[in-house]
A and B are shown apart, each in its own frame.
Chain A
Amino acid sequence: MVSTSSADNGRSATRAEVCAAAIADAFKDDGEIFASPMGMLPMLGVRLAKLTSNPDLVISDGESLFLAGTPPLFAKAEVVEGWIPFRRVFDVVAHGKRHVMMGATQVDRHGNQNISAVGDFAQPTRQLLGSRGAPGNTVNNRTSYWVPKHSPRVFVERVDIVTGVGPQLAKEAGPGAARYNDIHRVVSNLAVFDVRGAGDTLRLLSVHPGVTLDEVREATGFELEADDVPTTRAPTTEELVIIREVLDPRKLREREVPT
């Protein structure tokens, strides 16, 4: 599909576009590794990084193929550069040359993630996906999280079930768990965090343009370590052109993070 009009590019970035650039930044220093985005905005951000800050990233179709180019969201690849069936994904996880950005139904003060179930594990109030690969990802390769709707129900004091392991629990489990534990970024529709706060806690790195620190505090279910927090950078003109005209001309991003 051809883009709507180049006049769009004069407009300031939408929140979704700010998020895409923030996600891209999470992958910019990764070098030549397998970037594994789960979900739409992470896919957009990873592909944006591949076309700008980190062309060495290896990306897949989310099924079994490594894609040589950088196709638009959900488009068929023109050239395939490798084979990555699920069995090989597990090999790469253990090998470590991978950065996955997962979703999180809950993420807590200590950077633990939950995608298994809400409530008591024995009989949950809401059954979710299950642990998937989160326990293995978080003790083997770099892991980030994407939260499209920042709220106190997502950012909780303590997750109901630990699927993704934060740095504190990894250290408690010993060097076998801590050696490769690398929770890199938590990107939400409001802000960007890492887990280098005091006592291995979530630390606010930046607040998106148009969002106040108080708004982030109100939407977070635990006390935030934050003072003098900068504003998340706006996407460059080049990035906006790539997002709008190349990767996501159908504006799927706006459905996940409405303006």
Chain B
Amino acid sequence: MSIDEVVAELRDGMTIGIGGWGPRRKPMAFVRAILRSDLTDLTLVSWGGADVGLLVRAGKVRKLVYAFVSLDTVPLEPNFQRARQAGTIPEVVELDEGMFQTGLRAAAQRLPFLPMRAGLGSDVLVNNPWIETVTSPYADPDGRHEELVAVPALHLDVALVHLNRADRHGNATYLGPDPYFDDLFAMAAERTFLSVEQVVDTAGLTVETPVQRLLLSRMLVTGVVETPNGAHFTTCTPDYERDEKFQQTYAAAAGGSDSEWAAFEARFLAGDEDAYQAAVREFAEEA
């Protein structure tokens, strides 16, 4: 598949989960393709980084489900911060980051909810009054029945994830230090589209890397796209690390005036993925 063929499978109003973690191994080529599309009213489910910042800035998001949005070296994501302070995201669901995993797990296991302590006593339950608690049917050692959060399943229409290598069938491996939760996103979703740095033969997947790194099975993956540098400017260890210089430029434009953001968009986001990568190469050579 191509990036644009994947995005053609998406519809207005869909719930889309975006893999990776904050500024790490995000499927940015897919995100950029959504920016170019006329998709709207999306529900976004993400441990957020610039994926969230870009899509809320572009007005693509009707509802955002997140636990944080951060670029790490730039702790506060300027586009997200601006959108929240201007009230331009119609609906937000802020969860504890472990609740977020539990919600995906519930969806992955086709359960309506899973119980958890996280959220109890905090304003997560105040700001999301639709999230209920459940009383344990079992007594604790003191004879009490604990009340726990019934973390609702986070069902996804589509999951978008980026890994290092895959075969053309969708068997995929990560080569960096952390799988993040891309397998969980895939199981919580009706369909998963995968971008990778490189498509290899199936036999090639385990030539230089242990079998335990095979995170995704083809039975969970609908389509595969090869997008070299497709996670840019987030990490895709060991293929590349975060492009800190680019991230600084992004953050400065996002936090700057409307004309500064327009200039960033015109330079990097106006064309297709090839144009983006060419603009990034040119940016790197300016250093």
Contact = CB atoms under 8 A, between A and B. Distances in A.
B246 interface: no
Interface residues of A, number: 46
A132 B119 CA distance: 11
A162 B87 CA distance: 20
Contact of B87 (A63, A122, A175): A122
A121 B124 CA distance: 10
Interface string A31-68: 00000000000000000000000000000000111000
B80 A127 contact: yes
A131 B124 contact: yes
Contacts of B48: 130
B148 A121 contact: no
B261 interface: no
A86 interface: yes
A85 B177 contact: yes
Nearest to A133: B97
Given A130-B67, A175-B144, A176-B146, A136 B75 contact: no
A123 interface: yes
A162 B119 CA distance: 10
B8 interface: no
B9 interface: no
B121 A124 contact: no
Contact of B120 (A87, A116, A139): A139
Contacts of B81: 126-127
B67 A131 contact: yes
Contact of B117 (A122, A169, A180): A180
A129 B76 contact: yes
Interface stretch (B178-186, B195-203, B248-256): B178-186
A16 to B, nearest CB: 21
A94 interface: yes
A130 B48 CA distance: 10
A134 B122 contact: yes
A172 B126 CA distance: 14
A127 B95 contact: no
Contact of B67 (A132, A161, A162): A132
Given A93-B98, A135-B96, A170 B120 contact: yes
Contacts of A93: 98
B132 interface: no
A105 to B, nearest CB: 11
Nearest to B78: A127
Interface in A165-195: 165, 169-170, 172-177, 179-181
Contacts, number: 143
A136 B66 CA distance: 15
B177 A136 contact: no
Interface in B208-236: none
A129 B84 CA distance: 11
A65 B58 CA distance: 36
B123 A133 contact: no
A138 B124 CA distance: 13
A89 B260 CA distance: 39
Contact of B123 (A128, A140, A163): A163
A128 B95 CA distance: 14
Contacts of A128: 76
B94 interface: yes
Contacts of B144: 175
Given A93-B98, A127-B85, A86 B67 contact: no
B274 interface: no
B48 to A, nearest CB: 8
B282 to A, nearest CB: 31
A139 B85 contact: no
Nearest to B102: A90
A132 B47 CA distance: 9
B120 A173 contact: yes
Given A127-B80, A140-B117, A85 B85 contact: no
A131 B140 CA distance: 29
Contact of B95 (A86, A125, A131, A140): A131
Nearest to B149: A176
Interface of B: 21, 48, 66-70, 75-76, 80-81, 84-87, 94-99, 101, 116-124, 126-127, 136, 140, 142, 144, 146-148, 177-181
The 7 A-B pairs with the shortest beta carbon distances in the complex, nearest first, are A136-B118, A177-B120, A176-B146, A130-B68, A173-B121, A135-B122, A165-B121
Interface of A: 63-65, 85-87, 90, 93-94, 116-117, 121-136, 138-140, 161-165, 169-170, 172-177, 179-181
29 contacts: A86-B181, A93-B98, A94-B98, A94-B116, A124-B85, A127-B81, A129-B75, A130-B48, A130-B67, A130-B69, A130-B70, A130-B94, A132-B96, A135-B119, A135-B121, A136-B96, A136-B99, A136-B118, A138-B121, A138-B122, A139-B117, A140-B117, A163-B122, A163-B123, A165-B120, A169-B122, A173-B147, A176-B146, A179-B140
